[in-house]
Amino acid sequence: MPASLAVRIFRGIAVVFGVVTLTFLLLQLAPGDPVLRLLGATATPEQIEAQRHALGFDRPVLLQYVEWLGRALHGDLGTSIVLGRPALQVLGQAWPATALLVSLSILLSYPIGILIGVVQGTTRKPRLDTALSVLSVALNALPGYWLGLMLVIVCTYWLRMLPAFGAAGLDADFLSTWDALQDRLRHLILPLTTLTLIGAGGVARFMRGTIRDVSGAPFVVSARAKGLPPSRVIVYHLLRNGLGPVLTLLGLSLPALFSGAVFVEAIFAWPGVGQVLVQAVLARDFPVVMAATTVGAFLVVLGGMLADLGAWWADPRLRTRHAES
C-alpha cells in the first residue's frame, strides 16, 4: 500500500500542477481586461498602464506564472483585484455557507439514493424498478440550474411559499433568534432541495448497478440458500459489497464542500464559494479564480485518494488482492 500511495500522491501533484497551469493560460487568453473593469471606461491610458504595472500584468506571461507558482508554494495564492484582500480570505469568508449547503445535501442525498438503489436492485417488481429508474435517470440528467429555476417558478412565483434568493431576508438582523432561524431555513430549502434531488438520482443509479452485479455472486447465493433473512442478506452481503462505487462517488463529492455547486449558488444567490467564483469570473478577478481552482484541484485529488481508501476498507476482495500482490 505505501508504494501505491506514493505513486498516487505523485500523480495527484501532477494533476494539480496541470490544472493550475491550464487555468492560468486560459485566463490569459480569456477576453476582457481586468484593469479596464477595475478602473472603468473613464480611466486614462496613463492610469491603465500604471495599474497594469502595479498588478504585474505588464510582465511576460511565463514570468507571471513562475512568480505566482512560487508564491503559491509558500501558501500565498494572490490578492483579489476587486476587493484588495487575500484571495484565500475572500474564499474563506464564503466557505461556511457553501459547507452548510453541500454537507446537508450529501447527508440527505446519499441515504435517499442508497435506499432507492437497494429497492431497485432487490425488487422483483419490474414496474417498480422501471419507475424508479426513470425517476433516478431524470434527476441525474437534469441540469442543476434548470431544476433550480423550475423550483423558483413553482415555489416562489406560483405558490409564493418560499424565498428564492440569498441566505436570509433583508430584515434578518431585526428578527428574534427563533424567527431568524426560521427565515434562514426557508431560504435554505430550495437550493438544498435542488442539490439533494440531483445527488440522490446519481447515487441511486450507482447503487442499483452495484447491487445487481453483486446479487449473483456465489457468497450471496450461498447466504440465501442457508435461509438467512432477506434483511441480513441485504445489509451484510449486498450493501457492504456494493458500496465501493458509492464510496468513490462520495469521495469525489469532497471538492464540492469547498467549491460548492456553482450554478445552483448563482441561481439562488447563495453567498458561498460558488457565487464568489462566478462573480470573480465576471469581474476578471484572476487571483480569486486561480485560488479557487487550485484548492478545488487539490480537493479532487484528496477526494479520489479517500475514495480509494474507503473502497479498500469496504471491499475485502481488494485487500486480498493487495496482500497477494
Q: Which long-range contacts (CB under 8 A, 24 or more apart) does 179-185 make?
A: none
Model-wide pTM > 0.75 = yes
Those residues whose C-beta lies under 8 Å from the C-beta of residue 176, and which sit 6 or more positions away, are: none
* Res. 77: pLDDT tops 80: yes
pLDDT digits (tens, 9 = 90+) for 141-171: 888 888 889 999 999 999 888 888 887 777 7
Calculate the CA dihedral of residues 278, 279, 285, 290 and round it to 10 degrees. -30
Considering only residues 252 and 1, tell me which one the structure prediction assigns the higher pLDDT. 252
Helix axes 286-314, 87-122, angle to 10 degrees: 30
Query: What pLDDT is recorded for position 150?
Result: 92
* Res. 179: pLDDT tops 60: yes
* Res. 2: pLDDT tops 60: no
* Res. 311: pLDDT tops 80: no
| Lowest mean pLDDT across 22-31, 41-50, 231-240, 280-289 | 231-240
In this structure, the chain runs to a length of 325
C-alpha cell at 138: 431524470
- Taking a C-beta distance cutoff of 8 angstroms, is the pair 195, 99 a contact? no
Query: What pLDDT is recorded for position 44?
Result: 81
Mean pLDDT of 242-270: 75
* Res. 325: pLDDT tops 70: no
Closest among 66, 65, 86 to 77, alpha carbons compared: 86
* Spatial separation of the C-alpha atoms in residues 165 and 191, rounded to whole Å: 9
Give the CATH number of domain 96-286+303-316.
Answer: 1.10.3720.10
